[in-house]
Amino acid sequence: MPAEILIPIIGVSIALILAILMKVSKFFLSPHAWRRTRESLTAYLYILPSMIVLSIFVFWPIIYSFVLSFFKWDFKNQANPQFIGFKNYTELFKLKHPVDLTFNVAFLGTFFIVFFVAYLLNAILDSRRIPDKKVKNIVFINAIFGLITFVLWNYINYNLQWIIFLWLAFSYVVIAAMKKIEGTPDKLLLRLLIFIGIYIVGIKMIKIPEIVTYLSMAKEEADFLKAIWNTSYYVLLSMPITIFLSLIIALLFYQEIHGKVIFRTIYFIPFVTSVVAVSLVWQWIFNDNGLLNYILSFFGIDKILWLKDEKWTIPTIAIISIWKLVGYYSIIFLAGLQNIDKSYYEAAEVDGQQHGKNLPILRGLCFLQQHFSY
């Protein structure tokens, strides 16, 4: 039976079962429990039509495509697809020509740095949040052990590198799973800067092979790896800038300034503008003989092929994306700022905090914006 018929039948069956449960539960539950059950079942009945539509047009195609990925399904095998296991996935990562760095070595180096930095940050910034002295000693010992391994990485045997990495990863996962570190981490910007600094030192000075180096070498040898590289480059370029600018604009809108409704509308217009109109305007701006190159010519800068040069194509797309989305995200941030209770500001003033009072409360909203950016 086709999925577009089977799924509505299943949905109607679920609706009938829920309706029957709503009627029958009245005779077996207390009045209070029955009211709560009725509210829950009513909510599920309201959600059910949307779930049926999503199942037909979203969930089922995703599941069916995933199942088909394990089969050879081409023009010769349309009627009878041949099961080939993970062959399609191995073909995605198959390189046309071998590179000097293997994926296993790059994976090992990357995640060793990740777990080493995690232990180092816990030892430096989170020691007060670890009440158990034994766990605190393990964190400090692993941080020192990781630092020694980090410095001497190229002089350590490959198998021993794996053993060290597995120990750091396993012990850290156990500590995290047992919730031995209390509270939530603070000083997020400092943590990010420390991680980036150590990562750069590991790549440039100690020459630890990592995944970025591998992708930069292998991206021309496999189309799928090049797609991963381009997507990651675009996200890392556009997402932080979009969120940062959106938060700054939202903080400005939150102030008592004249004409902020007009400015809010101006910033939001790009998000609701037709994609076709946006494409035409920006194509005129970034064209070889477009407005931007015309302006740059006054400063003696040679013509830049914004839409044709591989070096500039992704930054160009990122600029357009930031311009289009920054107004939308700023409105979401503004809504979050307006919903902050005044008691938080009063508590922050009592604690003597004058700046950045909104940021800890908006942490969850920033996390949501990151998902929207992806």
DSSP state, residue 2: -
Nearest to 122 by CA among 88, 76, 171, 87: 171
State the CB neighbour count (10 A cutoff) for residue 334. Answer: 20
The superfamily in CATH containing domain 222-373 is MetI-like (1.10.3720.10)
Say if CB 363 and CB 247 are below 8 A apart.
Answer: no
Q: Where are the domains of the chain?
A: 3-92, 103-217, 222-373
CA distances (Å), origin 250, targets 260, 263, 362, 367: 11, 11, 12, 16
Q: Would you state the pLDDT for residue 88?
A: 87
Nearest to 210 by CA among 173, 159, 165, 171: 165
**Amino acid letter, residue 359:** L
Nearest to 322 by CA among 218, 209, 246: 246
Nearest to 368 by CA among 339, 344, 336, 341: 336
Q: Would you state the pLDDT for residue 369?
A: 54
Question: Per-block average pLDDT, block size 10, for the chain (374 residues)?
Answer: 74 82 77 80 84 85 89 76 86 85 90 92 86 88 92 92 93 86 77 90 88 86 87 88 86 77 81 86 86 86 84 89 87 78 61 52 56 52
Rg (CA), the chain: 27
Q: Would you state the pLDDT for residue 367?
A: 56
Mode of pairing for the β-strands spanning 71-72 and 82-83? antiparallel
